[in-house]
Amino acid sequence: MESQEPKVAVSSPLVPLMYSNRVVLKTILECGDDEIGLFGKTVVVGGWVKSSKEVKREPVAAPLKPPAVTQAFPASSGPKDVTCVEMVQSRIPFFRTIIRVFGGSISTPSVREKLEPSIPKPPPPSKFYLQINDGSCVSSLMVVIDSAIVPVSASQVLPTGTCVLAQGVLEKPSTHGKQTIELKVEKVLHIGTVEPDTYPLSRKKLPLDSLRDFSQIRPRTTTVASITRIRNALDFATHTFFQNHGFLHVQVPIITTTDSEGFSEKFQVTTLLENTSKKGEAVTALRPDYNEDFFGRQSYLTVSGRLHLESYACALGNVYSFGPRFRAEKTVSLKQVAEMWIVEVEMAFTQLEDSMKCAEDCFKFLCRWILDRCSQDMKFVSKRIDKNVVHRLEYMISCSYEKISYREAVEILRKVTDKAFETQLRWGVPLTAEHLSYLADDHYKKPVIIYDFPKAVKPFYVRLNDDGKTVAAFDLVVPKIGRVITGGQSEERFDMLTTRIKEFDLSRDQYEWYQDLRRHGTVKHSGFSLGFDLMVLLTTGLTDVRDAIPFPRTHGKSIN
């Protein structure tokens, strides 16, 4: 049977949302040269009040008509609708005569109040000018409500944060300003009122760090809304890149018994917490018998999914995963929190150079996508957060990346005389954020790929090089942010992997499943991990990763 649903022309710029009759503001405010064609269109819009004002108008008093009949009780001339006010007014001369006969005075206040009852005057009509935003774009729409047409009060619609759903006609602006179009409201369909005394955004503009205490409200700010739209675009671009290049998306477990890197601080997952009584106080005790635990052994939130991803790469070719990863590190850092989203990639039949090339291509693709698809939001963050962010992205897309070995990096840093590093540099120790920043920001002034790290500073599964001292790992370091991508070639040799597990003093039983990939049909393979939250930092110009994450989880603080 053919569907009876009405068909809407796709070419119309004012097509309502599929599951709502509301038109998103982006289609109205960013329609370009065709905007003039929107005038006169009736639409339903919704959003939250960003700013508002009220313009009051004094009503024009209509002159009272003299009574048409002077006798006390005029004869009826047929059916006629007469209001109570008109009836009282028509009898006033008669009552005045009676009062004078009996010696009264019409000027007596009590008599006057009774004979000329005051009719409550309605409040003077007002026009409410509301700037509302529905989160679809940076700009807001001017919504004009005339209380003489739509009976609403100032306390209902004026407070910042009020939710308004209204139907009206798009018109030319009635006032001079930046607006090129406004909505004249014919009907208010919904008002979500606000308690101004407790609403966080009713106060003066809060900085980003203060907004973290109101994570449930901060998406309503223009800055966080722009960051969220850029984050969404990066999410879509990530899947687009890998899907376009033949990768399969695989979901890897969040709970695991394996330490994916061999030296990470992990969050333990257990059901063995119990409350016991000690001198009337509740205390928490952990029973050590993990056989009785939910999973029957010690389990953790995963630090990395690359080991599990290898299982699918060694069967399906090129695969990727995208999800949260967890580190129980208590150090305070602007670029690391307890829960971060990571893009992880594994490619069969590839080596170190292949993964470095793929990582560079992916990084440039994401940068280009944001510049092409988020122009309005990028203009906003350039103005509000970092004026150089667009130029920085354009340069990182067009320039060639420097490739140096770890050894070369150490030699460059040792020759630095105009800067004293906090951490003493010597071969075999990890490069700190300070070292990486100097290489990318000061020395090369562009992205740098550093490869062949000492085996002690990289995970146990990275392939050992022929020199026996370094492994086939790499880091992609970019100006302002530092390390964004880390990756390398995995160890495909069974005996070598077994040796590396022993060197890290890891339980061989926990990695039997992982070694099976080397026992049965081993293959050279490589991959990388991209810090998705760090990409949000880079593309928005932010400096603290807590502002790039919708609900950040940090040491000592987990809200909502």
CATH number, position 520: 3.30.930.10
The per-residue pLDDT for 77 is: 46
Task: State the helix-helix crossing angle for 512-519 and 306-316, rounded to 10 degrees.
Answer: 30
Whole-number Å distance between alpha carbons of 363 and 23: 35
Tell me how far apart the alpha carbons of residues 123 and 31 are, in angstroms, rounded to a whole number: 39
CA–CA–CA angle 555, 535, 360 (5° rounding): 130
* 365 contacts 236 by C-beta, under 8 angstroms: no
What is the Cα–Cα distance from 422 to 510, expressed in whole angstroms?
A: 38
Query: For residue 395, what pLDDT is reported?
Result: 97
Cβ 45 vs Cβ 143: under 8 Å: yes
Is residue 63 in some structural domain?
no
Burial profile 43-56: b = 16 or more Cβ within 10 angstroms, e = fewer: bbbbbbbbebeeee
The mean pLDDT of 520-548, rounded to a whole number, is: 96
Q: Residue 323 pairs with which residues in a beta bridge? A: 342
Sign of the CA dihedral 99, 104, 107, 109? negative
Contact 137, 105 (CB under 8 A): no
Apex 156 CA angle, 153 and 161, nearest 5: 145
Q: How many structural domains compose the chain? A: 4
Task: Quote the tokens at residue 405.
Answer: 């070995």
Q: Which of 159, 174, 203 is the last residue of a domain?
A: 203
d(CA 354, CA 351): 5
| CA-to-CA dists, residue 191 to 16, 94, 130, 165, angstroms | 20, 50, 13, 7
- Beta bridge partners of residue 249, listed in sequence order: 320
- Residue 175 pLDDT: 76
Report angle CA 166, 171, 175 to the nearest 5 degrees.
Answer: 100
Q: For tokens 């018998």, name the residue.
A: 289
- Token pair for 496: 């070598």
Report the percentage of the chain scoring pLDDT > 70: 81
In a domain, 68, yes or no: no
Nearest to 41 by CA among 15, 5, 9: 15
Residues 452-467 have pLDDT tens digits of 999 999 999 999 999 9
Instruction: Judge if 449 and 478 occupy the same domain.
Output: yes
> Is the domain of 444 the same as that of 317?
yes
Same domain, residue pair 166 and 260: no
Query: In the numeric block, which tokens belong to residue 73?
Result: 């009780």
Q: Judge whether 426 lies within some domain.
A: yes
Compute how many other C-beta atoms are within 10 angstroms of the C-beta atom of residue 388. Answer: 12
**96, 229: one domain:** no
Nearest residue to 146 via CA among 128, 173, 123: 128
pLDDT of residue 74: 47
**Do 285 and 332 sit in the same domain of this protein?**
no
Report which DSSP code applies to 44.
E
- Give the pLDDT confidence of 241-300 residue by residue, as tens digits: 999 999 999 999 999 988 877 777 889 998 887 554 455 555 555 557 888 888 988 899
β-bridge partners, 528: 345, 487
In this prediction, residues 420-439 reach a mean pLDDT of 91
Q: Are residues 133 and 194 in the same domain?
A: yes
Quote the pTM value: 0.84
Which of 217-226, 416-425, 550-559 is modeled with the greatest confidence? 217-226
The residue among 297, 275, 271 whose CA lies nearest residue 285 is 275
3-state secondary structure of 159: coil
Does 228 reside within a domain? yes
Listed as own residue / partner, the contacts of 80-88 with beta carbons closer than 8 Å and 24 or more positions apart are 85/119, 88/116, 88/117
**Relative orientation angle of helices 222-244 and 352-373, to the nearest 10 degrees:** 140
Pair 111, 134 in one domain: no
- Cα distance between residue 243 and residue 245, in whole Å: 5
445 and 497 share one domain: yes
The two three-digit tokens of residue 489, written as one number: 């070639």
Shared domain check, 284 and 146? no
Q: Residue 1: inside a domain, yes or no?
A: no
**Residue 104: both structure tokens together:** 């009264």
Q: Which residues contact 269 (CB under 8 A, 6 or more apart)?
A: 255, 294, 295, 299, 300, 301
| Same structural domain, 175 and 161 | yes
3-class DSSP state of 150: coil
Q: Same domain for 434 and 543?
A: yes
**Dihedral over alpha carbons 511, 512, 514, 518 (to 10 degrees):** 130
pLDDT at position 259 is 81
Q: Over the stretch 105-123, which tens digit does the pLDDT of each residue have?
A: 555 555 555 545 556 666 6
Q: Which domain holds residue 502?
A: 218-266+303-547
CA-to-CA separations, 74 to 93, 97, 100, 386, in angstroms, rounded:
13, 16, 22, 81
* Backbone angles phi and psi of 523, in degrees to 5: -150, 150
Question: Contact 401/448 with Cβ under 8 angstroms?
Answer: yes
Of 203, 236, 258, the last residue of a domain is: 203
Tokens 């010690």, residue located: 298
Residues 6+ apart with CB under 8 A from 347: 313, 317, 318, 319, 354, 355, 358, 525, 526, 527
Q: Is 29 helix (H, G, I), strand (E, B) or coil?
A: helix
pLDDT digits (tens, 9 = 90+) for 147-205: 999 999 999 999 999 999 999 999 998 777 778 899 999 999 999 999 998 898 886 77
Q: Poorest-confidence range of 236-240, 254-258, 276-280, 345-349?
A: 276-280
Confidence at residue 540, expressed as pLDDT on a 0 to 100 scale: 97
Q: Quick check: helix, strand or coil at residue 205?
A: coil
Indicate whether 94 pLDDT > 90: no
Whether residue 335 is contained in a domain is answered as yes
Token pair 């969050």: residue: 267
| Tokens matching residue 16 | 């309502």
Is 372 part of any domain?
Answer: yes
Supply the CATH number for residue 159's domain.
Answer: 2.40.50.140
H or E stretch covering 452? strand 448-454
Residue 62 in any domain: the answer is no
44 versus 58: which is more confidently predicted? 44
Domain match, 92 and 168 both:
no
Owner of token pair 């994450």: 549
H or E stretch covering 408:
helix 406-414
First to last CA, the chain: 48
- Model pLDDT, residue 75: 47
